[in-house]
Amino acid sequence: MRITAVTCVKNEGPFLLEWIAFNRLIGVTDFLIYSNDCTDGTDRLLDALGEYGVVHLPNPARGRNYQMEALKHAAKQPVVRDADWVWIADVDEFLNIHTGDHTIPALIAACGNPRAISVTFQFFANDGIERFEDRPVIEQFTRTHNPDLWCADSAIEVKTLIRKDFPLQYFGAHRPFFREAKGAELPSWTDGSGRPVPPKFHTAANTRRIRRFPAAGARRYATLNHYALRSLDSYLVKNDRGDVNREGRAFDDSYWRERNDRAWEERSIHRYLPALEAALADMKRGEIGALHDEAVHLHLEKINELKGRPAYAEMWKHLRALPPYPPGELEIRHELGLTT
């Protein structure tokens, strides 16, 4: 089975090898990775990863929405057109498969081989980790929100595996879209428990929720672990670079607070750690290891530079002092007398 992962990156050098090694462990065979104006060696590292199935291209976008323009371009590339399945995800997202041998083929089989599988996010908190460390992200961050509730919402975003015969109109970052033909049968499409996705999500009939549906019971076979915050140090770099998907988008403290709910502990993804660490050790031999080390060095330099700027120093202190509750919960806790 040929499975191609597609992503866009900007200054993700220290985190690339973990993401690529992890995806290879779960069955991804090929990668199409678009880079945007990198200054941390990400592009040089990607160019060196051809033996691991990586096709690296500069992002062709000329407008503001870098990711959607890249996905339009990706749909025409041989590495995508020749794939049996396409997996569109970001470098801070890890597909944690709970069934069979914990690979994508096992997930597909458990779900009954539909034309698409949408897997629900679980957002992992920073949990008070301040310093960047060059070791697996999936090992460091283990606290998360109630799996069925995120902030005040029971509907949580998804990312989607797409089979090659899906009647595609265009790729979205979270789900594919198709043009309904009169009398044509709708494509089979499940959640991460093998259940049909909600009808309005399936047909994009609810424009406010085209990227999400209720999370309760949706993760029997797989969860999408999303490490959007990582360390506080690395979060400064994330703010500095902006959003790879949209030019000029900033991450204010609401983004941090929404994703820094540490109410639950979740370590099931650690089942992959022994194989992941072995794969990383193998990848880091020779030139690739040197390029990775360079990216780590440049990441640390950027952290130190940002901490020397008054605005970023204040941001670091502000985020560090925030309580670990999503927006609204702290106010409710005060109202109920649960906090001082």
* Cβ neighbours of 325 (radius 10 Å): 18
Task: Return the CA Rg of the chain.
Answer: 20
- Asked if residue 117 lies in contact with residue 107, where contact means CB atoms within 8 angstroms, the answer is yes
SS3 109: helix
Question: pLDDT (tens digit, 9 = 90+) per residue, 101-157?
Answer: 999 999 999 999 999 999 999 999 999 999 999 999 999 999 999 999 999 899 999
- pTM summary value: 0.94
Give just the sign of the alpha carbon dihedral 240, 242, 244, 248.
Answer: negative
CA distances from 218 to 210, 251, 261, 297 (A): 16, 28, 20, 40
5: nearest Cα among 35, 32, 42, 25: 32
Question: pLDDT (tens digit, 9 = 90+) per residue, 249-289?
Answer: 455 788 999 999 999 999 999 999 999 999 999 999 999 99
* DSSP letter string, 241-266: H--SSBTT----HHHHHHH----EE-
Distance (Å, whole) CA 84 – CA 32: 14
Structure tokens at 151: 């902030």
- Cβ burial of 18 (10 Å; 0-12, 13-18, 19+) is buried
CA atoms within 13 A on the CB side of 275: 14
Q: How large is the average pLDDT for residues 318-337?
A: 81
